Structure 1
Amino acid sequence: MPQPSISSPVNAPASAHAILWGRALRVFAWLSFLAQTIIIGTGGAVRLTGSGLGCSEWPLCTPESLVPIYADQGIHGIIEFGNRVMTGVVGIIALAVLLLVLARVGGRLLVFSALRFAGAGILAAVITFVIVSLFSLPATPFAMGALLIAVIAAMVRSFRLTTDRRDLVVLAWIVLLGVVAQALVGGITVLTGLNPFIVGFHYVSSLLLVCVTAAFLVRLYGQPGPRERAVPKWFAILSHVTGLALAVTIVFGVLTTGSGPHSGDADVLRHGFDATVLAHVHAWPGYILAALVATLTISAWVLRLDPRKWLLVLVLAILVQVGVGIWQAREGLPPLLVGIHMVLASLSAATYTVVVLHLKKPVAPRE
């Protein structure tokens, strides 16, 4: 008999308490996916409105305050501070998902272990901040680094203690670890004056977290246990080649945006590439991607393969993405269309992630 899913305990008795916790986990898992997508939009708003240095300091907004207090900060300070607040929301939701998973999988042992590491990490961050401050160095990045190390140690500890639904535990930890790392990268972005390469890395990292939260949802609703390939080998290989085309398209899209007019602040210089040339280079892997997805979709429906419905969603997402890309290029890159293009890229990547996870199916139980 297959092991019941953590989210849908089929063929196993479930108490009202377990059902309630399962529902809470599903709700927060969806909130995590939505929050990771929304923060790409708010981060894009910071860049596209020239608000990247609306808060001149990090983690404070000004040398004297956590929030924008100067009149000359104006709307830019509000937009930048709003994105920082959204980072906190994303982190709280990610922590809630992790604790709910640990509670359902390992009970109090795993939860208390994670909380102990959290307390130790906060203490280590405070001590690091105090020590580094004595040398008149920027202490916050070092403190965040200490906290990041504590999160990694806690993650390794959870892996060792987990025997059930390790897939969900791994994904939940990756999201929380990613949020902490993203906060550190965001601070470095401000401290380096919006270096375009760091800004681009910041966006790609956020996009990957959207993909991880999408993967968590798929595994949460899926049947646990060993899995086997559910599609022909050539189809699986072509699917991974499609993923490579998607990655190349996104990377060149980031480089194109990094060469364009939306630097995040009027005084920030771009990295010097020719944006017009990059826009054409960005389109080439995009057309290859569209052809590959079309091939996969037609093949999946002809062979009636499991990923076929999600491939249709991916086709729709890419068609809209291509349409918005052409539109924004012809209109001179208006900020709203560029922002929509950024969010759609993350949703396309998340949909592709779901497609890949449907290339396998649970191993059928032996009689």
Structure 2
Amino acid sequence: MPQPSIATPTNSPGAPSTHAILWGRALRIFAWLSFLAQTIIIGTGGAVRLTGSGLGCSEWPLCTPESLVPIYADQGIHGIIEFGNRVMTGVVGVIALAVLLLVLARVGGRRLVFSALLFAAAGIVAAGIVFAVVSLFSLPATPFAMAALLAIVIAATVRSVRLTTDRRDLVILAWIVLIGVVAQALVGGITVLTGLNPFIVGFHYVSSLLLVCVTAAFLVRLYALPGPRVSAVPRWFAILSHVTGLALAVTIVFGVLTTGSGPHSGDADVFRHGFDATVLAHVHAWPGYILAALVAALTISAWVLRLAPRRWLLLLVIAILVQVGVGIWQAREGLPPLLVGIHMVLASLSAATYTVVVLHLKRPVTADD
């Protein structure tokens, strides 16, 4: 019988209690919701940029100087779209917190949960104090308060990981997602305060994409057996897989620069990178074609040798082929917003699938090992 992937209280040796089973089911549900929410927020963030709604809310964290929600008639649909994306950030944060608390409760019980909640209270108090002090100097106080909260969350992560003795991988990944959500809120605020600086907007997207990958990694580790792992593929295959990851990263970076130099900067009055978008589109395509060739080589090799990641590589091939097709289609149609948005979401799903492939390069140690 396979071992449970995380520690669970039992009524009898080897038999999880009904309470433990329900908690395990809740954790799996929220882990999937976290992955879906991180993917959806890339779509809503793309909608903000592609509809020119980046400054639909002129302030942060408020939408207007007087209100948390859009209240002015001239904000129109842009204010609604921007505010909707901010609401989605809150949803993502709540789900990430739920996943973290469920993991801590299952792995360390009340001790870890109480420690995390204590740090949360300290973070709120620290953020309030920083906000009050900075406000005395007539400076934007919210970014400083968010930075203080982020520092407390990082300290809580270090403390929690040190107290964890079982399934530390799940604890670390859950904390990374929560840290990322807080950091994303801070970066999103800075994006508004800097008038949609294209480099910050690009960083905002890349960091969101990385959170999709982390939530995908959490799902893989949640369903995997615990314990040490050994390589499940030849060394050359592992090296080629990591080279493929580099090609994927380069492709995404040039895609971000291309979008930042094109017509969709988030607002009609926002200055773009200043690069030639036509040239960047071709440069973006080159590593994309290299990536497709590398993934094809990996997939064929994996199926010939019957390696563990072969099914996920096949899914990655499909994702990249669709991505290439959408990329060519949007270029020929003059970058319509809908196709650009689909291209952005597909990039995150391709990166998440690649993450799953990498995590299948190793397998749990067996008795034979």
Deviations 1:71-111 (A, max 9, x none): 00000000000000000000000000000000000000000
Alignment partner, residue 115 of structure 2: 113
Contact 1:185 1:198 (8 Å CA) reproduced: yes
Distance in structure 1 (CA, Å) of the matches to 2:351 and 2:7: 24
> By how many angstroms is 1:2 displaced?
7.1
Contact 1:2 1:225 (8 Å CA) reproduced: no
> By how many angstroms is 1:127 displaced?
0.5
Distance in structure 2 (CA, Å) of the matches to 1:234 and 1:313: 21
> By how many angstroms is 1:365 displaced?
2.9
Which amino acid in 2 is paired with 1:243? Answer: G
Alignment partner, residue 345 of structure 2: 343
Secondary structure of 1:178's counterpart equals helix
Contact 2:8 2:20 (8 Å CA) reproduced: no
- Return the match for 1:144 from 143, 146, 157: 146
Task: Describe the shift of the 1:169–1:128 C-alpha distance in structure 2 as closer, same or farther (beyond 3 A).
Answer: same
Distance in structure 1 (CA, Å) of the matches to 2:9 and 2:311: 25
Which amino acid in 1 is paired with 2:111? Answer: L
TM-score with structure 1 setting the length: 0.98
Deviations 1:180-199 (A, max 9, x none): 00000000000000000000
Distance in structure 2 (CA, Å) of the matches to 1:219 and 1:19: 18
Distance in structure 2 (CA, Å) of the matches to 1:9 and 1:270: 56
Q: Where in structure 2 are the equivalents of 1:151-300 lying within 5 Å?
A: 151-300=153-302
Contact 2:319 2:346 (8 Å CA) reproduced: yes
Secondary structure of 1:281's counterpart equals helix
- Return the match for 2:48 from 32, 46, 49: 46
Contact 2:104 2:171 (8 Å CA) reproduced: yes
Which amino acid in 2 is paired with 1:208? Answer: L
Secondary structure of 2:230's counterpart equals strand
CA-atom RMSD in angstroms: 1.5
> By how many angstroms is 1:5 displaced?
1.1
Distance in structure 2 (CA, Å) of the matches to 1:69 and 1:137: 25
Alignment partner, residue 365 of structure 1: 367
Contact 1:7 1:220 (8 Å CA) reproduced: no
* 1:304 counterpart = 2:306: yes
Which amino acid in 2 is paired with 1:309? Answer: R
Distance in structure 2 (CA, Å) of the matches to 1:6 and 1:80: 39
Contact 1:4 1:12 (8 Å CA) reproduced: no
Alignment partner, residue 4 of structure 1: 4
Structure 1: stretches of 5+ with no match in the other structure: none
Q: How many residues align?
A: 367
> By how many angstroms is 1:22 displaced?
0.1
TM-score with structure 2 setting the length: 0.98
Deviations 1:241-281 (A, max 9, x none): 00000000000000000000001001001010000000000
> By how many angstroms is 1:4 displaced?
2.7
Distance in structure 1 (CA, Å) of the matches to 2:235 and 2:172: 27
Contact 1:128 1:139 (8 Å CA) reproduced: yes
Distance in structure 1 (CA, Å) of the matches to 2:368 and 2:304: 29
Distance in structure 2 (CA, Å) of the matches to 1:310 and 1:362: 18
> By how many angstroms is 1:12 displaced?
2.2
Secondary structure of 2:159's counterpart equals helix
Distance in structure 1 (CA, Å) of the matches to 2:95 and 2:268: 34
- Return the match for 2:133 from 131, 140, 147: 131
Secondary structure of 1:361's counterpart equals strand
Alignment partner, residue 73 of structure 2: 71
Contact 1:103 1:111 (8 Å CA) reproduced: yes
> By how many angstroms is 1:366 displaced?
5.9
Distance in structure 2 (CA, Å) of the matches to 1:115 and 1:274: 49
Deviations 1:223-245 (A, max 9, x none): 11100000000000000000000
Secondary structure of 1:150's counterpart equals helix
Structure 2: stretches of 5+ with no match in the other structure: none
